[in-house]
Structure 1
Amino acid sequence: MTDTTTTTADAPNCRQHGPMTPGTEAAPTWHCPDPVCHNTVLRPADGVTGRGTIEITHTRADGTLLEGSSKGDGVWELVRPYRFTWGRSLPGVLFVRQSRDKAADRWSIGRASEALRGAGWEVVVDIDEGTRRSFADAEANRVGRAKERTERFTEYAGNAAGRAAARRATADNISRRFEMGQPILLGHHSQRKAERDAERIDTNMRASFRESDKAAHYAHRAEASGSYEEFRNNAPRTLRRLEKLRADLRGIERWQAGESNNGYTRALTPATVAELGIRHEELTEEIGYWEHVIAEAEKNGFKVWGPADFKKGDFARMRGHWYEVLRVNKKTLTVPGGPDIQKVISLETHAYPGMRGTRPYDEVSGHMTAEKMAAVLVEARRIRAEREAAAASS
């Protein structure tokens, strides 16, 4: 029978909190005694031959990484069901995709660790939630990667377009032999060559179409990547993002106070308190970043509209049309409509069909008083009458 006795002298260290304590499992395992920490050292299962050491680390700055594996050792097959994958950007390292700037997925890490341990690997788990990058650094990294994708996809599109043109040119050169309408002469010695030429024309034309489709696909992706920064910094979209982030922050603060958030409560265990604190810090930093983006947009002429800018009877321009303001709310304007918002119809009768609807202030792009709108409509009717009279006299 294998001796699984452990001693304090055998104890490995947690990088954040010092010596670990032995676990209750049959085979030697070690756990950090800190209630917030989830770092462990899992020795191979009892009776299983050791194969080496695998280290799984997680920080919010780098995400979840698995190191110590090499191609063909079977590790990837063991951890693949638990969201681990590989990529050319991190040679020799397995990782959990989209794990940066997020809390560790302890389920994936735990299940992968147990699978590796059962196969004879010693697994060292090192989770450090406190190490993270600033939101500004993360956003700059995302913008930089978007620019790299733009360059890469532009190159792919150019290469595909070149291949498409080459294939089309080959097909055109072959087809010149048939420009005079010469049919395939059945039984003639030229029949087989003519049939091969027809097949080559068809093959090259089909390849040209495929490459043209690839070129269009990559050009679209290059365009999307190239507009990433503009998309992220779009002022109306940023205002909507800020509304959501502020609501998330209020929810975190309610949980921190032991209150319910949208009907859900959270037990304030040490781990939960620590995670809520980190999340509060992240949200506060992200809100500050986007508020700075809006402040810069305002310096460049963007107007942030609000309840103080409107009163009942005014008109708001939204999505290219003017709408009468029926009511001014804290976050929205009530305008005629419902599912189909109705634009200005008649100032005299206010004959708007359908129900009332609301639109957020971030959709507003202009303001006009009722008096000015009345003058605009009078002028528009005068111009229309003059045009109709001129058309009738001609």
Structure 2
Amino acid sequence: MTPTTAQIMTENTVSQTYRATYSPDDNKLRLYASLRLDEETYSLINKAGFRWAPKQELFVAPAWTPGREDVLLSLAGDIEDEDSTLFDRQEQRAGRFSDYSDRRAVESEQALAHVDSLASAVPLGQPILVGHHSERRARRHAQKIENGMKRAVMLFERAEYWEQRAQASLRHAKYKERPDVRYRRIKKSRRNYASPKSTLPGLKSI
């Protein structure tokens, strides 16, 4: 007997588990799910402002709000402290960017080596002989050299870009760790907590 869609959804709901966390470092709420979300749950958290972070494999909201807290409590039951700090996450991000930079740098060197091998096949100062039977082949060869050089430069620029992103990520993490910045975040969070508690449709206010 083939299970119905309703039965499948029920089974997934039973086996689905959630873990919710809050990080005072960046004032963000995160939701970890053991399985792919059903349509109703996805719609609920999407409306609350949670977005999927593919690298971390979780849903994250840009800032704490009473409504978002209510959503996580309705799914996970409680909200834990986030295990990793902002600096840890930014270090991981910087590490990924550095990997991207290293790969592009290697590819740039390979492209440049290929250009050198093509150029070495042409005698130094050898012009293209217009009208000669070798003209077409010589122009194709010259075009390959030009395209290869463009690719090498493009890859080098990408390597520089990702290296800059890695450095910026670490600078951002260090900035967020500054006592004055942390103090301003705490003050903002306290103001949010002091405001009237909002709820989303379908959730009971506390």
Q: TM-score if structure 2 supplies the norm length?
A: 0.65
The answer to whether 1:220 aligns with 2:154 is no
Cα 1:270–1:196 change in 2 (3 A) is: closer
Separation of aligned partners in 2, 1:170 and 1:151: 29
The answer to whether 1:183 aligns with 2:127 is yes
Confirm or deny: 8 A CA contact 2:53 2:60 kept in the other structure: no
The answer to whether 1:98 aligns with 2:60 is yes
In structure 1, what is the equivalent of residue 77 of structure 2? 129
In structure 2, what is the equivalent of residue 54 of structure 1? 12
- The structure number with the bigger radius of gyration is 1
Separation of aligned partners in 2, 1:224 and 1:218: 10
Q: Match for 2:147: what amino acid?
A: T
Structure-to-structure mapping, 1:26-175, within 5 angstroms: 50-51=7-8, 53-55=11-13, 56-61=16-21, 63=31, 65=33, 67=35, 82=43, 83=46, 87=54, 90=57, 97-98=59-60, 102-103=68-69, 105=71, 127-130=75-78, 132-134=79-81, 137-138=82-83, 140-175=84-119
Cα 1:58–1:215 change in 2 (3 A) is: same
Separation of aligned partners in 2, 1:146 and 1:81: 27
Cα 1:129–1:104 change in 2 (3 A) is: same
In structure 1, what is the equivalent of residue 147 of structure 2? 203
Q: Match for 2:167: what amino acid?
A: E
Separation of aligned partners in 2, 1:85 and 1:66: 14
User: Cα RMSD (Å) of the superposition?
Assistant: 3.9
Q: TM-score if structure 1 supplies the norm length?
A: 0.38
**Larger helix proportion of the pair:** 2
In structure 1, what is the equivalent of residue 204 of structure 2? 271
SS in 2 for 1:188: coil
Separation of aligned partners in 2, 1:206 and 1:212: 10
CA offset digits 1:123-142 (Å, max 9, x no partner): xxx72332x222xx45x343
Cα deviation for residue 157 of structure 1 reads 0.8
Stretches of 4+ moved more than 3 A in 1? Answer: 48-52, 56-59, 78-90, 99-102
**Larger strand proportion of the pair:** 1
Give the paired residue count: 179
Cα deviation for residue 50 of structure 1 reads 4.3
SS in 2 for 1:272: coil
The answer to whether 1:250 aligns with 2:205 is no
Separation of aligned partners in 1, 2:100 and 2:130: 44
Q: Match for 1:63: what amino acid?
A: L
Separation of aligned partners in 2, 1:200 and 1:169: 13
Q: Match for 1:249: what amino acid?
A: Y
Confirm or deny: 8 A CA contact 1:171 1:201 kept in the other structure: yes
Separation of aligned partners in 2, 1:105 and 1:178: 72
| Structure ranking higher on relative contact order (CA contacts 8 Å, 6+ apart) | 2
Cα 1:159–1:80 change in 2 (3 A) is: farther
Separation of aligned partners in 2, 1:197 and 1:103: 63
Unaligned runs of 5+ residues in structure 1 are 1-43, 70-74, 107-125, 257-264, 274-394
Cα 1:86–1:187 change in 2 (3 A) is: same
CA offset digits 1:244-297 (Å, max 9, x no partner): 23322332xxx37xxxxxxxx88xx99322xxxxxxxxxxxxxxxxxxxxxxxx
Confirm or deny: 8 A CA contact 1:64 1:104 kept in the other structure: no
Q: Match for 1:165: what amino acid?
A: E
Separation of aligned partners in 2, 1:89 and 1:242: 25
